[in-house]
A = this chain, B = another copy of it.
Amino acid sequence: MSISNETLELMRNHSSIRKFREDPVSEDQLTAIIGAAQMASTSSNVQAYSVIAVTDAALKSELAALAGNQAYVAECPVFLVWCADLYRLREVARPHLNSAVTYEGSTENFIIGTIDAALAAQNAAVAAESLGLGIVYIGGLRNQIAAVAERLGLPELVYPLFGMCLGYPDQSPGIRPRLPQQAVLHRNRYDAEETVRQVDEYDRIMSDYLSKRTGGANETPWSAIMAKWIAEPNRLDLGDFLRSKGFLRR
């Protein structure tokens, strides 16, 4: 790459960490990480997210089990749960409202909360890595989302997008190749043919990558893995759960 600086290098070297040393994450580090998260952009300054830092060992174990027995959720020193949060807004707005009709449950506001939480989380990820810590996002937290929400005491209008393990890395998993840039970057107009065509090249790249990591045991092309993924009836209770929490009502 021709252009470089410390921050770009940091992002280029990202890989998810699933094995952590026992060393703790300090309160100062956590403050810095969440502080960076808070500086991410937010729609109309609504800051429609919350994050729960889980350090209680028993609770981490419970969440690890709920997320599909991912041991690193229990083993990392701090497990962050990132939530979209329209609850805080509705509560603080209440005394000022002239109208009985409000729209916190709209699809638009669901998207706003989801985006706000994701932008904050990604800043946190970059901040953590800048401090020599490692992270992995835990989408498995949506496997049994109602149980997770109950266990964390999430009120109406709050839902957990994902978890994030945080701690000092005890592995160097290497960098997984991404799609060719031309597959994700379009010019002035979505190029449906090109985005699909570029996957041929990526199928070869990922086949090689998998083969090398498994000593030749697995060389499934990416598109075949995606076919399996898309045919899986994954987390189909999510829509009902979200509506039960007051989201996606309009």
Contact = CB atoms under 8 A, between A and B. Distances in A.
A32 interface: yes
A91 B196 contact: yes
Interface in A1-45: 1-8, 10-12, 14, 16, 28-32, 34-36, 38-41, 43-45
Interface residues on A, range: 35 or more
Contacts of A233: 103
A119 B135 CA distance: 14
A174 interface: no
A18 B223 CA distance: 40
A248 interface: yes
Interface in A142-198: 142, 152-155, 158, 161-162, 175-176, 178-179, 181, 183-190, 192, 195-196
Contacts of A104: 230
